[in-house]
Structure 1
């Protein structure tokens, strides 16, 4: 970054409206395909806005679920609203675009819900941007725990991976899923990546049958996983377990009939639930209270990103409160890098992360099982990697569709 551009950006920030309290900018999807995943961040902002009034000013802009909208949102938050820090959550295209725009603007950014290796190694080196999440290796370790707990002696796992960023990062020989799974003794069968949305996945079904696969792992969308499950059933491929991350970390879309939900008895990663043993550093809210409030206010089932969304504001408030001068970007960035904070999403520690600017989140193993309150509920079936978290159900065979979960 040359001196002229730096000075221009400094003058642009100075021209933004002054405020007696620091402004926190939020890039959140309110329109487009990611709008539903933007709901937790929007809800956390609505809840915390009144509580933080007088300490912080919260302002949001819509990413419109795309990279261009995300970059425009950052420009408006920085140049028009005078944001001292920008927050965002998830989105394969959106999150990198927000981080890149903040790097260009010289404004601290905090993000989450994106495997940290993809964030850290997938772009330029970071000066202004900070992140907290689990890693691709953490997903592999958690899934391997479930593969090995599902019974059987076969260690061959079929990989239903696309030809986009999710599949490309999963199959890398370094920094990710593949080496961690292999280190556990599993052989991965990875046919050519498919293009989303998938019209047919018969090639994967054939490859898995020929390899004797009875465990499948994926990062597919719900729609694509549904295509695979229907074709596998029609062709006589009946895996004992499917593990799936990404969209399958979320419940079925509202109104989906239980019998048609691709989540049915699919195992997934668990990073936050109402049962996690944490409290907010801002107001003492527990995960159970946050999830209950979300369901009461929205009428929708709670989503895992809700805890991460709340924690974004906790860390931002902490950094701005502990910065030597919250009006100076370098001071806010230094405060972020020195943060070690107990949050509603657990301990977030940037002082001992795997790489600079990274804090990690622990994972448990879960499974979507028939529920009592909702058609399908996420049941924690393996909590060994999260201290204080209780498992509230047993891992069921993939075909056990008539059992009710005991968890919530």
Structure 2
């Protein structure tokens, strides 16, 4: 064996599929930051006799770019494992490409039902190579119901602003979506026909919500579409007392940049990682608050929730490589992922308990975008939800 091949065989490569161009580039910032920050720390943390390196490829914010990124990471860089996050089309494309190539993949920031069932797995036929950690649509519904019930302490009629894409389709799925859990809590959902994204009008929704005297609206809209709905409702003299929204509205105004005040103003959303979360990295002991502060000082930008999950991707990948029976064998690495139970920057991630194979869940709290002290709007924790030890940092404010 040549010296160059011997050296390569002693290096374990973590491939990173990350959006550095296109519409998801801002959501790629946390993953790119975590890669840059952790690379020197991980170099010496491989299993005995091995070093680690991190190599990235740009997904270009599209499915085609995602597939090409995987091809290059596997074919050119000999990636032992690929990590990624974010993107309704991009994340599944990365995972599917890894499944086809026979290389372990770890991903996050995508409701697990959409990732799992939406990609064709079922309870009896899981994936071979692809693993994921995230919350579920049922978890979002539970957190949002907590917020709705704080409006006046009772069950509510809730207007649903669903699009006709995967977000809306899975949210209203009769068995595996958001809607069944919301209804099981005693809430009545008013669901007009889904709208095509990007929306051009919300006249039918505004009328339906007006006729039903809706005070609470929930959605997974983009910032642009939510701003359009709010403007149209205001023209009709309607102002919901509370709007809850996931997806893009979980990110700060600096990411979306829609309107003044921003689309996030007063919106209740899921809180899966904030500086207030009582989490600590398994790699360097850094706390959530320290990571958020480090990111803001280094980039000059407000931290956003995927930062904690991006950090955890590298923690879990490192753990899998160091606990695999043979870190040069991809099947051994995949097996190690499936038995991982690890406290990380994203909380406890446990693949041994499901809810289905290949999935670990992330605990959710309830947040609301409120005027801040360091930034124009900050995500206040208004209910701790499923997160043990998380302190409330603000009261829910309604119109």
TM range (shorter): over 0.9
Q: Once the 2 structures are TM-superposed, how far is the Cα of residue 278 of structure 1 from its aligned partner?
A: 1.3
Q: Is the 8 A contact 2:248 2:256 kept in 1?
A: no
Q: Once the 2 structures are TM-superposed, how far is the Cα of residue 384 of structure 1 from its aligned partner?
A: 3.6
Please name the residue that 2:28 is paired with. Answer: 38
Residues 329 and 154 (structure 1), Cα distance of their counterparts in 2 relative to 1, 3 Å cut = closer
Q: TM-score when scaled to structure 1? A: 0.92
Structure 1 unaligned runs (5+)? 1-14, 400-408
Residues 254 and 322 (structure 1), Cα distance of their counterparts in 2 relative to 1, 3 Å cut = closer
Q: Is the 8 A contact 1:108 1:329 kept in 2?
A: yes
Q: 2:100 aligns with which of 89, 100, 104?
A: 104
Aligned to 2:72, the other structure's residue is in SS state: helix
Distance between the aligned counterparts of 1:48 and 1:254, measured in 2?
24
Q: Is the 8 A contact 2:252 2:264 kept in 1?
A: yes
Residues 383 and 80 (structure 1), Cα distance of their counterparts in 2 relative to 1, 3 Å cut = same
Q: Once the 2 structures are TM-superposed, how far is the Cα of residue 17 of structure 1 from its aligned partner?
A: 9.0
Please name the residue that 2:124 is paired with. Answer: none
Residues 294 and 96 (structure 1), Cα distance of their counterparts in 2 relative to 1, 3 Å cut = same
Q: Once the 2 structures are TM-superposed, how far is the Cα of residue 260 of structure 1 from its aligned partner?
A: 2.4
Runs of 4+ in 1 over 6 A off after TM superposition: none
Residues 389 and 152 (structure 1), Cα distance of their counterparts in 2 relative to 1, 3 Å cut = closer
248-257 or 127-136, which deviates more? 248-257
Please name the residue that 1:171 is paired with. Answer: 172
Deviations 1:342-378 (A, max 9, x none): 0011000000110000000000000000111111000
Residues 180 and 200 (structure 1), Cα distance of their counterparts in 2 relative to 1, 3 Å cut = same
Q: Once the 2 structures are TM-superposed, how far is the Cα of residue 255 of structure 1 from its aligned partner?
A: 9.7
Superposed counterparts of 1:1-400, under 5 Å: 18-54=8-44, 55=46, 56-125=52-121, 126-151=127-152, 153=154, 155-253=156-254, 256=257, 259-397=260-398, 399=399
Distance between the aligned counterparts of 1:247 and 1:16, measured in 2?
46
Residues 230 and 17 (structure 1), Cα distance of their counterparts in 2 relative to 1, 3 Å cut = farther
Distance between the aligned counterparts of 2:307 and 2:42, measured in 1?
18
Deviations 1:298-328 (A, max 9, x none): 1110000000000000000000000000111
Q: Once the 2 structures are TM-superposed, how far is the Cα of residue 149 of structure 1 from its aligned partner?
A: 0.6
Q: Once the 2 structures are TM-superposed, how far is the Cα of residue 25 of structure 1 from its aligned partner?
A: 0.2
Deviations 1:52-89 (A, max 9, x none): 12331100000000000000000000000000000000
Distance between the aligned counterparts of 1:292 and 1:343, measured in 2?
18
Q: Once the 2 structures are TM-superposed, how far is the Cα of residue 256 of structure 1 from its aligned partner?
A: 4.8
Structure 2 unaligned runs (5+)? 47-51, 122-126
Distance between the aligned counterparts of 1:212 and 1:279, measured in 2?
45
Aligned to 1:146, the other structure's residue is in SS state: helix
Deviations 1:24-64 (A, max 9, x none): 00000000000000000000000000111233110000000
Q: TM-score when scaled to structure 2? A: 0.94
Q: Is the 8 A contact 2:227 2:259 kept in 1?
A: no
Q: Is the 8 A contact 1:17 1:81 kept in 2?
A: no
Q: Is the 8 A contact 1:134 1:363 kept in 2?
A: yes
Aligned Cα root-mean-square deviation (Å): 1.6
Distance between the aligned counterparts of 1:340 and 1:169, measured in 2?
28
Distance between the aligned counterparts of 2:6 and 2:361, measured in 1?
34
Aligned to 1:229, the other structure's residue is in SS state: helix
For these two proteins, the number of residue pairs brought into alignment is: 384
